[in-house]
A and B are shown apart, each in its own frame.
Chain A
């Protein structure tokens, strides 16, 4: 199945959790914010959310800014 992450399409195995996917991409979830279909998913809930075909995921990080 396919999901969109930050505007790009990615292939994932059915049954993958949000946490599992992010960890598979070597993302340190302590440093990011994650939204699923525009809803923010609290860090502690990432392991409870199973990805579905067509899901839109946003991964936001902190960058330098003024």
Chain B
């Protein structure tokens, strides 16, 4: 079952909570809630996002996503997805707190419908308000350094730059931007949205991000449970590699095998580009 790949003493702390797993999951787009639960277990995830919406009173449901998640030992992170103004996002956050009982909020304020790109100014403003209101705010942001710095100044508990637009699976489009944020903010950096395959998650973790949040890449895989497990290994590999410290990039080759004592050819058979010994 649970492997021992996660190194002890390398827990991630966000606000008042500590996580062993650096893979966060969304709860959307799974073939069923049962598959979602199996994927969460396979990923060994300890934080799962949800959304809040108007209830359809004509079609009351017996079991919702919250019922399934409450049976697991994981932090629930409601989001403000769908919000396009500060007021709307703040209101959704308060309703989410009332509905879920958690004061954690994934803040999304979208500024463009086609790309679902976050609106930086509004996200910063909403962060300030929600921090005042006692929330642990994890804002969704672009891979823009100054946006991340402003969010940290506004009191965000973590910053969550996108790898690529939500639901696209395009992977880590601006790894330099993500790396810049990692180097400059002190709160945890969580790459959120756009991860397509475990190598994307691994690459993000290699850059030193604290965690990745994945939804569509797992939920819409042909086998979500197998992809959840693969994503976990990607995250663990990337984290271990970051901690191990990567080698510097060189511009020219450096032989791995000894250069002395190479078996020689007769001069007339030697490669023409080689200088005569």
Interface positions of A (Cβ within 8 A of B)? 5-8, 25-27, 31-35, 40, 42-43, 58-66
Contact = CB atoms under 8 A, between A and B. Distances in A.
B54 to A, nearest CB: 5
Contacts of B49: 65-66
B99 interface: yes
B56 A6 contact: yes
Interface string B54-69: 1111001000111100
A27 B54 CA distance: 13
B221 interface: no
B100 interface: yes
Contacts of A42: 98
Contacts of A25: 57, 60
Nearest to B80: A65
Contact of B79 (A6, A59, A65): A65
Nearest to A43: B98
Interface of B: 26-30, 36, 49-57, 60, 64-67, 76, 78-79, 81, 94-100, 166-167, 193, 213, 215-216
A66 B65 contact: no
A63 B50 contact: yes
A60 B28 contact: no
B25 to A, nearest CB: 9
13 contacts: A6-B57, A26-B60, A27-B57, A31-B66, A33-B94, A60-B98, A61-B53, A62-B76, A62-B99, A63-B64, A64-B28, A64-B30, A65-B79
Contacts of A8: 57
Interface of A is mostly: strand
A66 B26 contact: yes
B26 A60 contact: no
B64 A31 contact: yes
Nearest to A62: B66
A27 B61 CA distance: 9
Given A25-B57, A59-B54, A62-B52, 12 more contacts: A6-B57, A25-B60, A31-B66, A32-B55, A33-B95, A40-B95, A62-B51, A62-B96, A63-B64, A65-B49, A65-B51, A66-B215
Contacts of A33: 52, 94-99
A61 B52 contact: yes
A65 B27 contact: yes
Contacts of A59: 54-55, 57
A27 B94 CA distance: 20
B99 A60 contact: yes
Contacts of A34: 98
B52 A60 contact: yes
B268 to A, nearest CB: 67
A6 B54 contact: yes
B138 to A, nearest CB: 13
